[in-house]
Structure 1
């Protein structure tokens, strides 16, 4: 049995999506894969935690919830909407999981389509983490903000990360992230992404199929994708087609919005919404309002 640690970070505002992500993760696990799932959160109730534990009961997988003090990131920039302190929690993974030398992190606005044992086996020797390239890193960047402090050739998404946590602990990754927040904080736009890209040492590139954007599946021609303007400089249309044909993770970033905010979500995601245990269908007023005014 192969045990793979996977971390999610979320708060009480995004319970249904988080449950769907976790359920799809374990549904796609191979028979020899065992997921050790960790949730870092600021405010998930014991009642909701029990609902998650119930969802995994009877499986070979395990889930652990760890509350993180909000003041860990009191000096970090954040917004009133989705970009609150929880987006920074992934930075703490090397500290909070000292028992593991390699860990997977994933955002929760995703649907897993494949087992993660292959990507978990990626050799990270000499690299701090592995991620999917989002854009060429230059002053002409259009989808992300350019920082002269970022010395990497590419800007990497932080929504799926394969972390070399042993390397991170040995080389002061967390301290470097807090130093970036202190020095660059007022200029950060995509808070966690910008911080981690600037702070990191070597980053190993992973296949695009681990961040298969939803727009890949919504446009007949790739050129119609909002992200194509920067993706075309990294990926050929053949590579985009390959990610579309065999996605490991569909990531619901960008237009037309999160699937739980759509009147007509994708059929595969809708199936999970319909099968979600009642105790985990905790949609917020903001969710309902966004769905009401969404034209899709």
Structure 2
């Protein structure tokens, strides 16, 4: 099973969690990490972390000249374009699962790895939250526009049809995109996508949909990164794997935002449905998914440690 991710220095805490959580549930996983702006210190940290946890990982250097010529964006660094380099960086492989470095894997990925792509260039999950302005720009609807955080690549087809080059040319012609890499990929592979169930790329802020949907991959999209905000949605899941992995990044010490906390308290005492729904959905998610999952993972980790103690 080939798993690819990309990172600069901003996403290293999430990347370590992705590596550990994926291997925890997928012992045959082999990782390729595209270095899209990692310091030497963080490269050493990733290597040492991988060795300590017996993770088979390879760091690949992105061609900075290829990334720098693509449109700049005020919200993301050029690391977002690294996934376009996967077909050329992995010439020996015909398929790969790409997962963003701000995701945590909570179950087996073998179904995702082995599913037929039926001649499609990609498999991905519908995004469903992109502004209409962006959809209009690429000429697509919410029922066909996928999120680029989790993708299954047919690398052989990408190389054969020179798809990455087509995406780059689209980017150079459309520099005003809000989600540059994602929208360019969607526009280029339109009609050649296999749509996946939401559980394969579950946005953490959609936690009210649990347990109707049980996540396989939790994607911490937006600003609520669990290594920055300890109260981010589903941060407890991230924290459980962080503890087990022995990550060098501690739990964040952020304090509750006073204005937000005051608004919530006032809303609850005022019996406003919006705030009581948050309490209800949070409690339901905790009881139906978060707590049982963490207990299961901790119990399994204890058994594994007894059978195969890790090196200090």
In the other structure, the counterpart of 2:16 is 19
Cα gap change, 1:151/1:264 in structure 2, threshold over 3 Å: closer, same or farther?
closer
Cα gap change, 1:118/1:263 in structure 2, threshold over 3 Å: closer, same or farther?
closer
Distance 1:98 1:69 in 2: 15
Q: Is 1:209–2:199 an aligned residue pair?
A: yes
- Per-residue deviation at 1:80? 4.6
Q: Is 1:248–2:238 an aligned residue pair?
A: no
- Per-residue deviation at 1:273? 3.6
Q: CA offsets, 1:40-71, max 9 Å, x none? A: 11332444333323333376641011111322
Structure scoring higher RCO (CA < 8 A, sep ≥ 6) equals 1
- Per-residue deviation at 1:166? 0.5
In the other structure, the counterpart of 2:237 is 268
Contact 1:8 1:40 survives alignment (8 Å): yes
Contact 2:5 2:100 survives alignment (8 Å): yes
Gaps of 5+ in 1: 223-239
Contact 1:132 1:211 survives alignment (8 Å): yes
Residue in structure 1 matching 2:171, options 157, 163, 181: 181
Cα gap change, 1:143/1:35 in structure 2, threshold over 3 Å: closer, same or farther?
farther
Contact 1:18 1:108 survives alignment (8 Å): yes
Structure-1-length-normalised TM-score? 0.76
Contact 1:135 1:143 survives alignment (8 Å): no
Q: CA offsets, 1:106-129, max 9 Å, x none? A: 011111111211111111131000
Structure-2-length-normalised TM-score? 0.73
Distance 1:254 1:113 in 2: 20
Cα gap change, 1:150/1:143 in structure 2, threshold over 3 Å: closer, same or farther?
closer
Q: CA offsets, 1:162-199, max 9 Å, x none? A: 0011011111101101110111122x111211111011
3-state SS of paired residue (1:39): strand
- Per-residue deviation at 1:206? 0.8
Residue in structure 1 matching 2:35, options 38, 41, 55: 41
Distance 2:104 2:242 in 1: 11
> For the aligned residues, what is the CA RMSD?
2.7
Distance 1:172 1:8 in 2: 21
Residue in structure 2 matching 1:120, options 113, 121, 127: 113
Contact 2:97 2:150 survives alignment (8 Å): yes
Distance 1:57 1:276 in 2: 12
Residue in structure 2 matching 1:259, options 203, 226, 229: 226
In the other structure, the counterpart of 2:103 is 110
In the other structure, the counterpart of 1:237 is none
Q: CA offsets, 1:238-272, max 9 Å, x none? A: xx7432xx2101111147x1112224353222223
In the other structure, the counterpart of 2:66 is 72
Aligned length: 255
Higher normalized helix content (fraction of residues): 2
Distance 1:261 1:58 in 2: 24
Q: Which has the larger radius of gyration?
A: 2
Q: Is 1:57–2:77 an aligned residue pair?
A: no
Contact 2:3 2:97 survives alignment (8 Å): yes
